[in-house]
Amino acid sequence: MRFRMVKLPFAPCLTLMLGVLLNTGAQAAPADELDTWLADKGLLSQIQQVRQNVSLKASELVVHAIGFLGVPYQRGGNTVETGFDCSGFVKAIYEQTIGLVLPRRAEQQAAATQNIEKKDLVPGDLVFFNTMRRAFSHVGIYIGDGKFIHSPKPGAEVRVESLAAAYWNRRFDGARRVDTAQDDSSPSVAAALRSQRSSDPIAGSFSKR
């Protein structure tokens, strides 16, 4: 099954290319199709800012997430082959990038992570929204400069949006930080995983935008 990747390479290839761009620190004007596309989307400077301002682990996480732009939304999905829902996307990115297994549902991810102020957001943090008239019903990954990446809703694809956009600003429900030193035996993650096993395994909370 093939996905339309917005004229970009298959996600792992794009991730590799972004990694090269990140590590070379290129500052010149876009010189190829990838650079041009990233510049058009306002993401070329974003990647450079991430490289300069955050840890290597956070840089890798953001680059990996951007590599999946264009993958379709799928309720209950958590792979590039099936598509992603919001929490499935977050879970996949953290597991594939740093080996940390987060709970499956958005509200469980919120419960398992550290509450932070919106002003303290850094790339790699999680942002939550109330899109279904209940708390923490949607989640995305903050990538810096007031933007986040997420899998938004049925019929849509993984994309980058601004926290300042009216729709998301009104529904913002809080920010959380993942303790990347923890694993699934840490108290907060373990409790969330126990809760997950006793509830609906499909966490595909989606926006009714």
Choose, from 138, 147, 153, 176, the residue flagged as catalytic.
138
Contact yes or no for 122/54 (Cβ under 8 A): yes
Name the H helices within the chain. Answer: 11-24, 33-40, 44-53, 56-66, 86-98, 106-111, 166-171, 187-197
Q: How far apart are CA 45 and CA 51, in angstroms?
A: 10
Structure-token pair, residue 145:
């400069």
Angle at 107 between CA 104 and CA 113, to 5 degrees: 85
The question of whether 13 is a catalytic residue gets the answer: no
Choose, from 91, 104, 105, 150, the residue flagged as catalytic.
150
Choose, from 43, 86, 90, 100, the residue flagged as catalytic.
86
Task: Identify the H or E element spanning 162.
Answer: strand 159-162
The question of whether 150 is a catalytic residue gets the answer: yes
197 CB-near residues (< 8 Å, 6+ apart): none
Active-site residues, by number, are 86, 138, 150
